[in-house]
Amino acid sequence: MPETVRSVCPHDCPDCCSLLVEREAGRVLRVAGDPGHPFTRGFLCTKTRHYEDTVHSPLRLAAPLRRTGPKGSGRFAPVSWEEALAETAERLQACASGYGPESILPYAYAGTMGYLNKHAYTPLFRLLGASELGRTICTPAKAMGWQAVMGATPATPPAEAAGSDFLVLWGLSVLATGVHFIREIKEAKRRGAMVVLIDVYETPTARLADVFIRVKPGSDGALALGVLHEMAGRGLLARSFIDAHVHGFAEFERTVLPRWTLAEASRASGVPEALIQWLALAYASAKAPFIRLGGGLSRYANGAMNVRLVTLLPAAAGAWGRPGAGMLSSCHSSSAYDLSLVQRPDFRKPGARQINMCLLGKALETPSRLAGPPVKALFVWSANPAASAPDQNAVLRGLAREDLFCCVHERFLTDTARYADIVLPATTALEHDDVYASYGSYCLQRGRPAIPPQGQAKSNWDACRLLAKALGRTEAIFEQSAEAMVDRLVESTAHSSWQLAPEEVERLREGLPVPLRLPEGYATDFKTPTGKIQAVNEAEPQALPDWFPAETGEGAFAFVSAPSPRTLSSSFCEQDRLAARDVMVLLMHPDDARALGLEDGGRALCSNRQGEAEFTVETTARVPQGLVASEGVWWSSRLGGKPGVNALTSQRLTDRGEGSTFSGVRVDIRRAD
C-alpha cells in the first residue's frame, strides 16, 4: 500500500518547498506540494513536479567509480566504497605530505540546501588544514549591497507583498526562479496593485507585469539614482522618515544626487526620461510600495553598487514599517540554526589560504598566481563547476591536469564527475535526513528520509564520516550519525535569536514546517551600527553610494545569462522531460539576426576572449537590439560534448563580495557552419 510522508525540496531556490512524498516498497511513486505549508500552498514547480524521475533516474550513480580512460572521457569501472575511500585518503595524504595540506581544495556549493549535507565535509577538510573555499558563486554582491544600507535588518516577508499597491519585481525572474511568489503577485493584482518588472529583456515573467521597464545590463543603480533625483526635485521624498531613520541622506542628496538628472539617468540606463519620471512618481506616491529584488542586477562588476542604490528607494519613500510595503532581497531563515555545529569554525586552521570559487579556473590552471602550494587535489560535492562555474574552458583545462587528483561526490555523472579520478554516489534528499531554511520566506523544515539510499549511494555526511575514518581521524564529531547531527541542529533553534518555543522545536523535529515569527516593530528596527538606514556608510570602501559602469570586456553584443524554468543551475539536466531539447537557445532581436545573416532556428556561434559556444537562434523582439540572452545552464553531455554558456562568462569579480559576474560579458556573433 502506498503511503505519504513529508520531505523538503533541497534545491537552491528561495521557495524551499514542503513535499508530500508518496512511497511504496522503497520507491517514490510521486511527489506533490504540501497544501499545509505557508509558502508551498499545494503546488510545485515544473522541475520538482516529477521528482521521482530524478530520484529513480536511470542516470543515477549506483556505485563508486574509478577512472579507466583519459580525464573527461567518462570511462570508469565500478569499485567498492572501501577501495574508493582508501584510494582517496591515500591521494589526499600524499598531497598533504608532498605539498602541504593547502594543496587540497574542497569545492562545494548548494546542490543540496540541507545544512548538514551542504557543509558535510567542511569539518574534515578544516582538520586536515586544507585550503578554504570562498563560497562566492551566487550573489555575495547582492548581500553586500543590501548590508551596506540595511545591515542585518530582516527582509520584508513575502506575504506583505500581497497587500502592496505598487509591486516592483527587480532583476528577478519569478516564473523561473521562485514560482510560489506568483501567488502574492496575483493577490496584489486582484486587490488593484500595479506590478512593474525591471529586467534587461522581456522574460516570461513580463506576462505578470503591467509595466515592463528595460534597463541596460548593469545599469540599475543609475535608474535608481534617476528616480531618487526626480523624487527629490518634486518634493516626493519622505522627509520626516528620512530625518528620523536615514543616516547621511542629506550629504548623499547634496553631493551625489544633483548629477543624476533625468537625462543623465536615462543615458546610463537606457530607460526613457518619461518612464523614469513615471516610476518616481508612482513609487513615491504609492501607499505600499514593495520591491522584490532578484540577483540579476548584482551579477556585474558594479553589482553591489546597483543593489545598494536600489535599496535606498524604500528609505527615500519611507516605505519601511508600512503594511504591504518594504523590500525583500533575501530572508535569513537559516540563522535559526547554529551552523557552527557542522561548519566547525573552531577546526579552521588559523590563516588557512582561501581560494575564491569563482576563480577555480585560475586556481587550477595557473598555480603561480596562488600564494602557497599549487592545488594538487580537488574534492567536489554538491556542485558541478565544469558546467556552472564561470570561464568553463579555464575550469576544464584545470580539471584535465593529469597531476590533479579529483574526487567528486555526486548523484549523476555530471560534466565535473567525468573529470574525476574517483566518483562517489550520493543520495538524493529523499534518501537522507537534513534540515532546511527558506531564503524567500521565513520558514524551517526537517526532511527525514522517505526511502532508503538507492544503489550504493551515501549521503555527504555518511561518506564524510567514512573518509575521516580512512584518514585515521578519531574526533568525536565523526562518530555522530546524521540523525544525531540533525537533531542537534533542530535543538539549536531554541537558542538562536529566533528562540523557537519548545512545541515549535518539537514540530521541527518531527518534520513539519515551522514558520518563523519576526519581532514586533522589526521593519523599523534597523540593525546597523547607527540604528539607521545607511545612505552613507563610512565602513564601505566607497562611503557615498554612486553608480559607475561595469567592466564587461569586448564584443559587439551584451550577453545575458538568465535562469531557465527547466533547470536550476545545471541541476535537473538528468530529466529528459526538462533537458532533452530546446537547450542552448539564443534570444536575438530579428533585426540583429538579419544583419548577421541568421534566421530563426539557425545556428549561431558566440565568441569572446574566454571561448565560444554554439546556440540555436530564436528571433524575438523581447530582447533589444545589441543584446542576446540565453536561459539555463546545461550539461555538456546534453550538447554533444560541446561547450555550454559558461564558455563565454568570465572570472571577473564583483565590486564587493568577490562574486560572480555571469551577465557581465560581451560576445561577437557569427553564423555557425
Ligand X SMILES: Nc1nc2c(c(=O)[nH]1)N[C@H]1C(S)=C(S)[C@@H](COP(=O)(O)OP(=O)(O)OC[C@H]3O[C@@H](n4cnc5c(=O)[nH]c(N)nc54)[C@H](O)[C@@H]3O)O[C@H]1N2
Give the interface with ligand X as residue ranges (CB under 6 A). 12-13, 109-112, 117, 137-139, 170-173, 176-177, 198-201, 203, 215, 217-218, 220, 294-297, 299, 381-385, 387-388, 409-412, 414, 426, 460, 560-565, 567-571, 633, 645-646, 649, 662-663
422, interface contact from ligand X, Mo ion, none, CB < 5-8 Å by kind: none
Is residue 457 within the footprint of Mo ion (CB under 5 A)? no
The answer to whether 557 and 216 have CB atoms below 8 angstroms apart is: no
559, interface contact from ligand X, Mo ion, none, CB < 5-8 Å by kind: none
Task: Report, in Å, the least distance between residue 583 CB and ligand X.
Answer: 13
> Which of residues 124 and 138 has its CB atom nearest to Mo ion in the complex?
138
Question: CA 417 → CA 436, 510, 548, distances in Å?
Answer: 26, 35, 40
Question: CA 482 → CA 125, 473, 485, distances in Å?
Answer: 18, 17, 5
Q: Using CB under 5 A, pick the residue from 16, 21, 120, 138 that binds Mo ion.
A: 138
Choose the binding region for Mo ion from 132-140, 398-406, 457-465, 494-502 (rule: CB under 5 A): 132-140
Choose the binding region for Mo ion from 131-139, 143-151, 276-284, 460-468 (rule: CB under 5 A): 131-139
435, interface contact from ligand X, Mo ion, none, CB < 5-8 Å by kind: none
DSSP 6: E
Strand order across the 27-33 sheet: 3-8, 18-24, 27-33
> Which of residues 182 and 505 has its CB atom nearest to ligand X in the complex?
182
> Which of residues 160 and 410 has its CB atom nearest to ligand X in the complex?
410
> Which of residues 95 and 141 has its CB atom nearest to Mo ion in the complex?
141
Residue nearest to Mo ion (CB): 138
The answer to whether 9 and 413 have CB atoms below 8 angstroms apart is: no
> Which of residues 293 and 464 has its CB atom nearest to Mo ion in the complex?
293
Tell me if residue 89 falls in helix, strand or coil.
helix
In angstroms, the CA 138 to CA 110 distance is 9
Task: Report, in Å, the least distance between residue 88 CB and ligand X.
Answer: 14
State which H helix or E strand residue 240 sits in. helix 239-245
In angstroms, the CA 150 to CA 311 distance is 8
> Which of residues 122 and 569 has its CB atom nearest to ligand X in the complex?
569
Grid-cell match 516577508, residue found: 157
Task: Report, in Å, the least distance between residue 175 CB and Mo ion.
Answer: 17
Task: Report, in Å, the least distance between residue 660 CB and Mo ion.
Answer: 9
The answer to whether 659 and 138 have CB atoms below 8 angstroms apart is: yes
Size of the site for Mo ion (CB under 5 A): 1
> Which of residues 88 and 570 has its CB atom nearest to Mo ion in the complex?
570
Choose the binding region for Mo ion from 24-32, 89-97, 133-141, 312-320 (rule: CB under 5 A): 133-141
Which long-range contacts (C-beta less than 8 Å, at least 24 apart) are formed by 189-195? 191/162, 191/163, 191/165, 192/165, 193/164, 193/165, 193/166, 193/167, 194/165, 194/166, 194/167, 194/282, 195/167, 195/168, 195/169
Tell me if residue 549 falls in helix, strand or coil.
coil
Among 671, 585, 672, 667, which Cα is nearest to 626's? 667
> Which of residues 238 and 378 has its CB atom nearest to ligand X in the complex?
378
Q: Which residues here bind Mo ion, judged by CB under 5 A?
A: 138
